Amino acid sequence: MSDYRLGIDVGGTKLEIAALDSKGEILLRHRVANPGTYDALLLTLRDLVEEGRARTSRDATVGVGIPGAIDSRTMRVKNANATWLNGQTFGKDLEQVLGCPVKVENDANCFALSEAVDGAAAGRKIVFGVILGSGVGGGFIINGEPVTGLHHIAGEWGHIPLPWVRAEEFPMPKCFCGNDGCLERFLCGPALAASWKGDGQRCADGIEEAAAAGDAAAIHALDTYVDRLGRACALVINMVDPDAIVLGGGVSNLKTLYSRVPDVMKKYAITPECRTELLKNQHGDSSGVRGAAWLWGK
């Protein structure tokens, strides 16, 4: 197999490609707009791969992260927020356009893989990667491989309910998935912003600085967020007992999470000494392309 890996991150608005060598050095990185229609997407990806191969090797492998999952029975895309991708046999179609095998994986799984292979959680056996952004996603990596599961939904942490709920937390907010009280509704960036500055607010930038300056609403919003994130992590620990939980997405930039959330994890996890590490991602914006590249192994 080639020493070179091409990793592509298909986002709702942007496409990004990176070419990595066997040491994980990025040799090429290119970002373009997502053309927004399926046929144009395939052609744009063909051009990006062509460019990547011209700069590395003709047989560089191709891995792709998408904002959705591949149904394991039909091989069609589902749950993508770029809704025009849903129902498409994306992996097969891209293989046809490129004339080579392609590995496709959910973007949260790519994030987790990137951090488990040579990122913040390198060398750990069981890693749970979480994206705390405009939505909330997650993925498990065990022994360097993404765990996908029967329906390809393993690690869909955003749509399990908030655990160890307190009386004052009712009524539970409604989620777009049809259920009430999903973690995404409490832990996404806009939820943090709304709990600080009120309904409809979506940006929580500056909340730590505001809390440090004595803003009571910011302090309360952060305290609540830390407590809920800690409970949500403890639930994962009780279920899968990972070595490390790695945080990504905009909210992962809050320093207070890494100093305070582990104490809440200890309080709720059913082990007196909870040694699970809570880590900030190492590769930031590059995690999507890096994880896609490592679908073929490092």
In the complex, the smallest distance separating the C-beta of residue 176 from Zn ion, rounded to whole angstroms, is 6
Distance of CA 244 to the CA centre of its chain: 15
> Which residue's CB is nearer to Zn ion, number 177 or number 203?
177
Q: Which is nearer to Zn ion, 35 or 173 (CB)?
A: 173
> In terms of CB distance, is 53 or 159 closer to Zn ion?
159
Whether cis (ω within 30° of 0) applies to the bond prior to 242 is no
List residues bridging with 10 in a β-sheet: 15
- Check: CB of residue 98 under 8 Å from CB of residue 81: no
Which span (11-19, 88-96, 121-129, 169-177) binds Zn ion, by CB under 5 A?
A: 169-177
Token readout for 88 is 């498409």
Which of 159, 231, 260, 283 is in the footprint of Zn ion by CB under 5 A?
A: 159
User: 């803003």: which residue's tokens?
Assistant: 215
CB 10 within 8 A of CB 51: no
In this chain, which stretch among 50-58, 114-122, 152-160, 230-238 interacts with Zn ion, using CB under 5 A? Answer: 152-160
Measured CA distances, 53 to 25, 48, 121, 134 (Å): 15, 9, 29, 33
Residue 20 in contact with residue 5, Cβ under 8 Å?
yes
Q: Cβ 87 to Zn ion, closest distance in Å?
A: 21
Residues within window 178-197 making contact with Zn ion, judged by CB under 5 A: 182
The phi, psi pair for 223, rounded to 5°, reads -60, -45
| In the complex, minimum distance from the CB of residue 235 to Zn ion, in angstroms, rounded to a whole number | 15
Comparing CB distances to Zn ion, the nearer of 182 and 192 is: 182
3-state secondary structure of 273: coil
Residue from 43, 153, 177, 213 touching Zn ion (CB under 5 A): that is 177
* Closer residue to Zn ion, CB minimum distance, 84 or 176: 176
Residues found near Zn ion in the complex (CB under 5 A): 159, 175, 177, 182
